[in-house]
């Protein structure tokens, strides 16, 4: 039986590192059942013992398993000893991908990996000139959406040296428009970002109008110059749609009664906006909005390997689409 595939991905740029691991996962999964083949360990809760258990778990209804362990640079050299010992004779049915992160990988772990037939993959930003152009083209060619030439030029010109942003934009485009969608300048433009902070109601107002492009521009300004964390944005969205949900199914027809029902003191204008949007969406779309919010909340808390910024961008785009 062939030796297992063992790879350690290391590099200083988290998004480029995540992209490299994601691309390797896609190659290994191929046309297989991702849910059946793949087990991912991430966050601060898993220990080396969990990694060992995952590696040694036999495959179920398949001939192999893919184990991905992220953020491995938090482990000290002594904690890695059980894994190094296991790599002396690893199960041949497990493909192991370690996302180390920044910093030096311990020499003994590298040696054990190479002895088992594996390798260290050093992930670094591309160079300049032709090297960078080729790097962009390769990412565009392997993206899960079909990006036309004009959109490619717009992306590469706008991002320039900040190449780490590209992976997140491509994932967002896939999440919003779907795999294999044709992407042009009009589809790319809302995701390029902008400068300057904005108040949170600018975001909810844009979502309520169904203006996806403006919603994303406001979001990017909030999380960029406004320096709001994705969980802070999530709290704003939850609060907004909670008001709408609480009014749904009631017989309330005016903003004063809506404000009383919602416990809003002072100006009743927020209640008026919630009442208007409740009527605009209707029960089915309100339910869908709550489902999207619940899933995004889980994804932000570790249920997804996607970066928090990407999770929020996809959520905002989908919420804005509901209001159209």
Q: How far apart are CA 259 and CA 22, in angstroms?
A: 47
CB 298 within 8 A of CB 183: no
Q: How far apart are CA 292 and CA 319, in angstroms?
A: 8
Would you list the domain boundaries of the chain?
6-122, 130-191, 200-322
* DSSP assigned state of 300: I
Point out which residues pair with 66 in neighbouring strands.
38, 95
Q: Does domain 200-322 have CATH number 3.40.50.10790?
A: no
Q: Is the dihedral of CA 198, 268, 287, 320 positive or negative?
A: negative
Tell the residue number behind the tokens 């490619």, with chain if given. Answer: 152
Q: How far apart are CA 234 and CA 231, in angstroms?
A: 5
Instruction: Give, for all 324 residues of the chain, the pLDDT tens digit.
Output: 445 589 999 998 888 898 899 889 988 998 888 888 999 998 888 999 999 999 999 988 888 999 999 999 999 999 999 999 999 999 999 999 999 999 999 999 999 999 999 999 999 888 777 888 888 998 899 888 999 999 999 898 777 767 888 888 898 999 988 889 999 998 998 888 644 356 788 899 999 999 999 999 889 878 875 567 898 899 999 999 999 999 999 999 999 999 999 998 878 888 999 999 999 999 999 999 999 999 999 999 888 888 899 999 999 999 999 998
Per-position DSSP letters for 181-225, written without gaps between them: -EE-HHHHGGGS---S---HHHHHHHHHTT-HHHHHHHHHHHHTT
pTM here?
Answer: 0.57
Tokens for 160, please give them. Answer: 């320039």
Residue 2 has what pLDDT?
47
Residues belonging to the chain: 324
CB 313 within 8 A of CB 216: yes
CATH no., domain 6-122:
3.40.50.300
- Are 6-122 and 130-191 equal in CATH topology? no
Residue 12 has what pLDDT?
87
CATH architecture of 130-191: Orthogonal Bundle (1.10)
């Amino acid at each position: 039986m062939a030796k297992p595939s063992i790879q350690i991905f290391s590099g200083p740029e988290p998004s480029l590192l995540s992209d490299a691991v994601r691309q390797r996962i896609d190659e290994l999964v191929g046309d297989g059942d991702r849910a059946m083949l793949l087990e991912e360990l991430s966050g601060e809760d898993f220990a080396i013992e969990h990694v060992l258990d995952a590696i040694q778990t036999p495959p179920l209804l398949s001939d192999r398993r893919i184990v991905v362990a992220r953020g491995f640079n938090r482990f000290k050299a002594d904690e890695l000893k059980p894994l190094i010992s296991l790599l002396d004779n690893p199960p041949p049915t497990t493909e192991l991908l370690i996302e180390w992160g920044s910093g030096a990988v311990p020499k003994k772990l590298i040696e054990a990996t190479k002895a088992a037939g594996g390798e260290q993959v050093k992930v670094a930003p591309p160079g300049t000139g032709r090297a960078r152009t080729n790097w962009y083209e390769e990412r565009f060619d392997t993206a899960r959406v079909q990006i036309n030439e004009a959109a490619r030029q717009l992306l590469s010109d706008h991002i320039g040296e900040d190449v780490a942003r590209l992976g997140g934009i491509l994932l967002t485009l896939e999440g919003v428009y779907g795999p294999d969608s044709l992407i042009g300048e009009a589809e790319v433009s809302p995701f390029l970002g902008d400068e300057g902070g904005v108040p949170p109601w600018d975001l909810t107002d844009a979502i309520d109008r169904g203006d996806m492009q403006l919603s994303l521009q406001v979001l990017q300004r909030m999380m960029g110059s406004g320096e709001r964390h994705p969980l802070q944005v999530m709290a704003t969205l939850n609060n907004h749609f909670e008001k709408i949900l609480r009014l749904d199914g009631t017989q309330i027809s005016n903003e004063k009664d809506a404000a009383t029902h919602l416990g809003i003191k002072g100006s009743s204008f927020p209640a008026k906006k919630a009442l208007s949007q409740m009527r605009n969406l209707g029960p089915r779309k309100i339910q869908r909005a709550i489902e999207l919010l619940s899933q995004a909340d889980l994804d932000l808390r570790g249920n997804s390997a996607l970066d928090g910024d990407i999770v929020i961008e996809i959520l905002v785009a989908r919420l804005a689409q509901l209001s159209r």
